[in-house]
Amino acid sequence: MQETDFIVVGTGIAGMRAAIELAPYGRVLCLAKLDVQESNTQYAQGGIAVALSDEDEICLHLQDTLSAGDGLCNPDAARILVEEGPHRIEELIEWGTKFDRQGTKLSFTREGAHSRNRVLHANGDSTGREIGRALYHRAASLKHVCFREHGFATDLWVEDGRVVGLYLLTDPGQPPQPIRAAAVLLATGGIGQVYANTTNPAVATGDGVAMAFRAGAEISDMEFVQFHPTALYVKNAPRFLLSEALRGEGACLRNANLTRFMPKHHEMGELAPRDIVARAIAHELEISKVKDPVVYLDLTHLNGDRLKKRFPRIYTTCLEYNIDLATDLVPIRPAAHYGMGGVRTDLCGRSSLPGLYAAGEAACTGVHGANRLASNSLLEGLVYGARAATTMASESTLKKAKAAGCTKSAPGNGAGAAADIPLESQISAIQELMWRDVGIVRDGKKLRAAVARLAELRAELPEPRSRRQWEAHNTAGTGQLIARAALAREESRGAHYRLDCPAHNDARFLKHSVILGDKVRFE
């Protein structure tokens, strides 16, 4: 049986930052389910928000974060984010991250719902890739940090109510192997792949949330899923993200009649909060008389040379689909983008299970409340990745316990007999259902039916043995958590919009949803 001191599941911004912090205290094993780079972090374009520009103040960043969260941010968590953010960014720069500059000064752009230019970017629109590069370079240079690629964590290892390690699938033909550790950090990233349309890469199947739930940890705020308004919509192409920063630079949205529609929906027009823009687009698509309608992002009035320079990755990707940003309208639709909920943690990254910690998109610190302010998630990964690691180091006695009496947390009730339908179609059925009935606009009746149908779809999945089978269970399990929380929250708030209860209900729901086992409570 293998053992180490700390296991970090995930090599995105949160996992990598945590590993760097843990390195002086013991051996750190970092797991990535594919290669180290493949993560949401790698695809982050727009940038990272931080109050470092001359015109900005920490209190303004806090204010914008709280107002995006629609009453549900944990103010202490948000304050920590904005206060510790500048130092974490300075560290990143020290470790070699090359943010874009104008002359010698850092260059800041503005994104939706930010009151100041405060978003740092790198290589124009490859911010996450550049941060990931610098963090990996730093982490890999540390003696005690080791990376295991294609190391898929299936389940947590729980002993007497404490997480003491996890199970790792390395060889598809073999059962998962236990690895013991003093503390485990889940930094497994997003949940986008639970939906049929998503900006997230294939790795974002909500594994960390699903496995924490199976192990008995509390899961919070899962109903809040941010749908990015502008993903490229070209048949048979991935839903490539068209960063909010494009609208920050002046791009506007036009409906099928080429009329600009955002000003009639919100005073901030195209820079309104994402949920408002996504719903406005969904509305325009619904009322459009065109078959298979789209909405257009229009940048044709902007300086083409500047666009190429500022957004090289977006520009060349669109060109691959014969769309020239400088001269053509870009067909777009919304897509699932970011999960505000996750494994419930305190301000130091502790989950409700001793020995288990979470950070980054897999965690729910309460920083984002009901809706995330654009470009706050990379910052959250940095700030809370470091905080969780500090707590892990200080709380771990590092006494190696014996392996006897281990209880593996079971994969839930989804381990039914193999169905005839190929696995990929089973996964697609889950994703389509989530998109249709647990998507941008929801209602109680459909949500109730979706909860029941998801349980059926999950029961039809084969017993998990391969990585993809585990991902299918995790997709279904995470989908169930989202649908259950969305059904329980009988109001609209932030990114969660219910047609049957379109207003806030502060008296009942100015609270966080918490799921533990078969109960959903609000507190």
Ligand X SMILES: Cc1cc2nc3c(=O)[nH]c(=O)nc-3n(C[C@H](O)[C@H](O)[C@H](O)COP(=O)(O)OP(=O)(O)OC[C@H]3O[C@@H](n4cnc5c(N)ncnc54)[C@H](O)[C@@H]3O)c2cc1C
Is 79 marked active-site? no
CB of 453 to ligand X, least distance (A): 25
Distance between CA 199 and CA 140 in Å, rounded? 28
**Residue number closest to ligand X, CB atom:** 12
What torsion do the CA atoms of 458, 511, 344, 135 make, to the nearest 10 degrees? 110
* Near ligand X by CB under 6 A: residue from 14, 77, 217, 353: 14
Bridge partners of 387? none
Q: Which is nearer to ligand X, 48 or 457 (CB)?
A: 48
Q: Which is nearer to ligand X, 62 or 488 (CB)?
A: 62
Pairing of strands 330-339, 225-232: antiparallel
Q: Which is nearer to ligand X, 205 or 492 (CB)?
A: 205
Site for ligand X, residues 368 to 397, rule: CB under 6 A: 375-378, 381
Q: Which is nearer to ligand X, 45 or 480 (CB)?
A: 45
* Near ligand X by CB under 6 A: residue from 4, 40, 431, 478: 40
Site for ligand X, residues 131 to 190, rule: CB under 6 A: 151-153, 187-190
72 touches 80 (CB < 8 A): no
Can you list the pairs that 272-275 forms with residues at least 24 positions away whose Cβ atoms lie under 8 Å?
272/112, 272/113, 273/68, 273/112, 273/113, 273/371, 274/112, 274/113, 274/226, 274/227, 274/228, 274/229, 274/244, 274/337, 274/371, 274/372, 274/374, 274/495, 275/226, 275/227, 275/371, 275/494, 275/495, 275/497
* Segment interacting with ligand X (CB under 6 A) among 28-36, 133-141, 268-276, 319-327: 28-36
CB of 118 to ligand X, least distance (A): 12
Residues in the interface with ligand X (CB under 6 A) total 45
* Segment interacting with ligand X (CB under 6 A) among 30-38, 260-268, 299-307, 409-417: 30-38
Q: Which is nearer to ligand X, 284 or 471 (CB)?
A: 471
* Near ligand X by CB under 6 A: residue from 64, 218, 275, 361: 361
**Interaction between residue 32 and ligand X (CB under 6 A):** yes
Distance between CA 385 and CA 187 in Å, rounded? 8
Distance between CA 484 and CA 221 in Å, rounded? 11
Site map (CB under 6 A) of ligand X, residues 42-61, x = contact: -xxxxxx-------------
> Which positions ≥6 away from 203 have C-beta within 8 Å?
33, 34, 38, 39, 40, 189, 193
Distance between CA 242 and CA 315 in Å, rounded? 10
Number of residues in the chain: 523
* Segment interacting with ligand X (CB under 6 A) among 32-40, 80-88, 298-306, 411-419: 32-40
Bridge partners of 74? none
* Near ligand X by CB under 6 A: residue from 5, 7, 8, 12: 12
Please identify which of the residues 138, 180, 274, 489 carries the catalytic annotation: 274
Q: Which is nearer to ligand X, 199 or 255 (CB)?
A: 199
Of 148, 184, 168, 142, the residue nearest 7 (C-alpha):
184
Active site amino acids: 274
Residues binding ligand X (CB under 6 A): 9-15, 31-34, 38-41, 43-48, 127-128, 151-153, 187-190, 199-200, 203, 207-208, 241, 338, 360-362, 375-378, 381
